[in-house]
Structure 1
């Protein structure tokens, strides 16, 4: 799990730019799965309720699957590049 400092928009942009990772509401499976809780599983909570629950607007959950590690890294680098084009976004470990 990691937080994009670009918030909600950065989170949506990231998950919309991955090709290998599949969008998921559950993080179980053999394939790489990615989730942006603020726009997916916890969207109905509203921004304030998510903040109280510790769910940041740029929070990303990633479950790494059995694909080739270089393919996963390339997919994430491409998607993060798209986010970086939105604005200079730094990652902070959660």
Structure 2
């Protein structure tokens, strides 16, 4: 693999929970994931922050007071904490 390039094609898909599959590249304490979600993913509340990019389709996130729909090409930034649980 060329230096500083992650070839997701060569990584295996993992299924951590129903409705989610991902490919993970980890270097030390840092990781980047390619993730696919379906509506079969069980609902849950998460207070961990995330950064992401919607590659195709739509991505709905329900926050405590609203639901936001992100579309292809949208960047997503969710800070850590109770105020941003999703």
TM-score normalised by the chain length of structure 1: 0.25
Report the structure number with the largest CA radius of gyration. 2
Structure with the bigger percentage of helix: 1
TM-score (normalised: structure 2): 0.26
The structure showing larger relative contact order (alpha-carbon pairs under 8 Å, at least 6 residues apart) is: 1
